[in-house]
Structure 1
Amino acid sequence: MTWPDVEIELVARLGDGRLGPARVLTELPENLLDVLPVVQVQRVPGGGDDGYRLDRALVDVDVYAPTRLLASQIAQQVRNELVVLLRGATTTRAVFGRVSTVAAPAWRPYENPGLRRSGATYEMFFHPV
């Protein structure tokens, strides 16, 4: 069995246009200010699996935007997409079960004053298709 990569699955799903002009990626580009808004998806330490089929991932999602309002709006869209619409959905390689918010969207510091960053952490259970 091959475990699905939750980052790849989320980038494909969230990056399909459902977040408007936001780019969805795992690594921030060098020209970040030129390509805003950006949604960064990263699996973080924690979680685990049942040793058989079910994976439990903790995923950080950071939204970078030129204004606080836009960052907040996109962060709320992401929350709805993950917690409400992803539950029970099937992507190319994974079936998602329960998805919950561990830390709701909140302001996170960022060293560049030319943009705003809102971040959240989600717990999601999934297994291969």
Structure 2
Amino acid sequence: MPKTKNLGIDLTPPAEVALAAEKGLALRRKYKRGGTNVGVARARDLKGRKSLSTQTIKRMVYFFQRHEIDKQAENFGNEDDPSAGYVAWLLWGGDPGRAWAEKLAAEIKASEGKPKDG
């Protein structure tokens, strides 16, 4: 079970993250490229604004760190002929998803270091 209740942190994706994931799903359907089954599952959770686990937030941070290089590829950000990396980036919430995950990861780390009440 996610530690969210103990930490008191809302792990529900914001609307802009949900929209980026939805856009990624649409581009993947249209162009038949980008992302893995894990990325598609993540996009569905983000689009549905499902509360995520702390582990999933950490996985998002790692995804964006690993895939920063994809932004240098040809057609990254091109909506008419998107690179596979651009589609994958969106599936994980795009730039808003990265900012949100990094902010939450810092909050989670800070909260985990505090003594628990009781």
TM-score (norm 1): 0.29
TM-score (norm 2): 0.31
Higher strand share: 1
Higher helix share: 2
